[in-house]
Amino acid sequence: MSIINQHWSLILQRLVLVSVFVIVWWLASLQMPAFILPGPQRVIEAVRRLFETPSFLNDVSATFRRVLLGFTLAMIVGATLGLLLGANKILARFFEPVLAVINTVSSAIWAIFAIIWFGISDATTVFVVFMTAMPLILTNVWQGVQTVDRQYIQLALSLRMSKLAILRKIVFPSILPYFFSSARLAFGFGWRVSLVAETIGASEGIGYRLRQAADLVQTDQVFAWTLLLVMMMLFIESSVLKPLEKRLFRWKATT
């Protein structure tokens, strides 16, 4: 009973938070010209118009395609390299500085490089997403490999498991939490940097439309895109990532 109450009280709190935000926004917008801060009604109207734009679906799917491609490549490469570095100390010591260098380069710089190398194309955004997401996943998987419990390996050896079976039954499940949390983080980052890359290196996509709207001082459009992006991220978080996490890690004690 109290859990249900807590649940409703949380929903109420969220509603209050949203209403306060909207009211403050609305009051502020009354004091300013619309090209600096458009009011809520204007932005809602802009969102409606966005949906009606013929290129809308095309833009959204372009961005999604690039993010997913870059992210998938980052997962494959990052997890494989992370496993390799985790398994081999000499290799790890040799490549550690490379990782540090990649991590310090800002995604804006990757975007500029990408423009030089790939020009205005999907590859530019994919590359930036990849370069941002891959090191995150690599580092976490590598760390995960190092935390694999020796005792479980010994147990597996006492059962005469093959190396491959140990990898599958002990190592993979052990690093899955690390992999998942890093993939989640990497997806969030990748998604955000994809827009940066698209503002300079694409001729379609959400980032491109954002810059276009800004250039034409269509501030309500910028707000509309932002609102949509936030909604989409929240939707992915609550309908894909959260349930997936719950399912994958139901063996963990909830405290």
Partner 1 sequence: MTTEEKTKTKTLGKAAISLNGVGKKFSNTQVLEGISLDVSEGEIVALLGRSGCGKSTLLNIISGLLPFDQGTVSIEGVISKNYTDWHSIAYMFQEDRLLPWRSIIENVCLSLETGSSSFNERRQRAMKVLKIVGLEQVAHAWPYQLSGGMRSRAALARSLVINPSILLMDEPFSKLDPLTRSLMHTEVLRLQRERKVSVLLVTHDVEEAVVLADRIVVLAPSPGRVATIEPNQLSHPRVPTDPLVAEKIRQLRLKV
Residue numbers of the site for partner 1 (CB under 8 A)?
151-152, 154-155, 157-162, 165, 169-170, 173, 176, 250-253
**Nearest residue (CB) to partner 1, 45 versus 245:** 245
**Nearest residue (CB) to partner 1, 2 versus 151:** 151
- Beta carbon of residue 121, minimum distance to partner 1 (angstroms, whole number): 42
CA 141 – CA 83 distance, rounded (Å): 6
CA 243 – CA 239 distance, rounded (Å): 6
- Beta carbon of residue 43, minimum distance to partner 1 (angstroms, whole number): 45
- Beta carbon of residue 238, minimum distance to partner 1 (angstroms, whole number): 24
- Beta carbon of residue 175, minimum distance to partner 1 (angstroms, whole number): 11
Distances in whole angstroms, Cα of residue 255 to Cα of each of 192, 250, 252: 32, 12, 9
- Beta carbon of residue 93, minimum distance to partner 1 (angstroms, whole number): 23
**Nearest residue (CB) to partner 1, 5 versus 151:** 151
**Nearest residue (CB) to partner 1, 53 versus 147:** 147
* Environment class of 73 (CB within 10 Å of its CB; exposed 0-12, middle 13-18, buried 19+): middle
- Beta carbon of residue 158, minimum distance to partner 1 (angstroms, whole number): 4
**Nearest residue (CB) to partner 1, 178 versus 223:** 178
Q: Check: CB of residue 244 under 8 Å from CB of residue 202.
A: no
**Nearest residue (CB) to partner 1, 47 versus 171:** 171
